[in-house]
């Protein structure tokens, strides 16, 4: 998918959360959102588009969204990893938790940027990223916006149901975050969830 010189590619595994590769064509730079277990897929996209990885963004600290982020960062020139501060404890616990789930060799990524409030930053030469903290699924869940594209992690799915509500850190807070963030969306915006297919707002 293309959006104003930005190419967005989503992983295709039905068993795992979505990983997003976002390439700024004019600068041959890319960011990846929620590496999860898609390490080789990420490397393939970087090679296919002949881009330089300039950032790894994590919508939250769950294993299935973070698992291979450390390896990707280390093998891509120690590229910066972005995470909300309130989920740092989840990332620090990843190795032991992964072992308990039968996943060996998972490392905690070295988080370069800890986000405390909503704001904006620029990756590489000119890729502008806006972010909003949307706690509930986890204490530090957040959403990223690039151009008119919203990467919402596990905030909600295509039916706008709060994803994983039964296992959420605080489902009532998640519902509030969902309602608050939906108010920020505009007609023509495109939403990219952590699970399932993306969609565009028609109204």
DSSP-based helix, strand, coil % in the chain, nearest 5: 25, 30, 45
Residue range 28-60, pLDDT digits in tens: 899 999 999 999 999 999 999 999 999 999 999
d(CA 170, CA 202): 30
Residue 170 has pLDDT above 90, yes or no: no
Lowest-confidence region among 61-70, 85-94, 160-169: 160-169
Task: State mean pLDDT over 94-101.
Answer: 95
Q: Does the global pTM surpass 0.95?
A: no
Label residues 14-49 b or e (16+ Cβ within 10 Å = b).
Answer: eebbbbbbbbbeebebbbbbbbbbbbebbbebbeeb
- Judge contact between 183 and 143, C-beta under 8 A: no
Task: State mean pLDDT over 130-148.
Answer: 95
Residue 2 has pLDDT above 80, yes or no: no
Give residue 131's pLDDT: 96
Q: How many CA atoms lie within 13 A of 73 on its CB side?
A: 24
CATH architecture, domain 2-200: 4-Layer Sandwich (3.60)
Give residue 25's pLDDT: 79
User: What DSSP string describes 155-192?
Assistant: S--TT-PPTTGGG-S-HHHHHHHHHHHHTT--TT-EEE
Sign of the four-CA dihedral 110, 92, 174, 19: positive
């Amino acid at each position: 998918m293309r959006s104003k010189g930005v190419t967005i590619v989503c992983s295709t595994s039905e068993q795992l959360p979505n990983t997003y590769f976002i390439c700024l064509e004019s600068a041959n730079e890319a960011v990846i959102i929620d590496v999860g277990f898609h390490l080789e897929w990420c490397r393939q996209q970087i090679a296919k588009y002949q881009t330089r990885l300039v950032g790894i963004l994590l919508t939250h600290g769950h294993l299935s969204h973070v698992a291979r982020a450390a390896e990707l960062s280390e093998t891509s020139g120690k590229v910066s990893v972005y995470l909300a501060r309130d989920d740092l404890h989840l990332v620090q616990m990843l190795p032991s938790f992964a072992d308990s789930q039968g996943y060996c060799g998972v490392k905690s990524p070295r988080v370069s940027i800890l986000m405390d409030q909503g704001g904006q930053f620029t990756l590489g030469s000119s890729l502008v990223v806006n972010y909003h903290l949307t706690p509930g699924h986890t204490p530090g869940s957040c959403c990223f916006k690039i151009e008119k594209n919203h990467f919402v992690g596990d905030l909600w799915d295509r039916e706008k149901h709060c994803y994983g509500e039964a296992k959420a850190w605080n489902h009532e807070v998640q519902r509030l975050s969902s309602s608050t963030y939906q108010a920020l969306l505009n007609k023509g915006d495109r939403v990219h969830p952590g699970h399932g297919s993306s969609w565009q707002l028609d109204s």
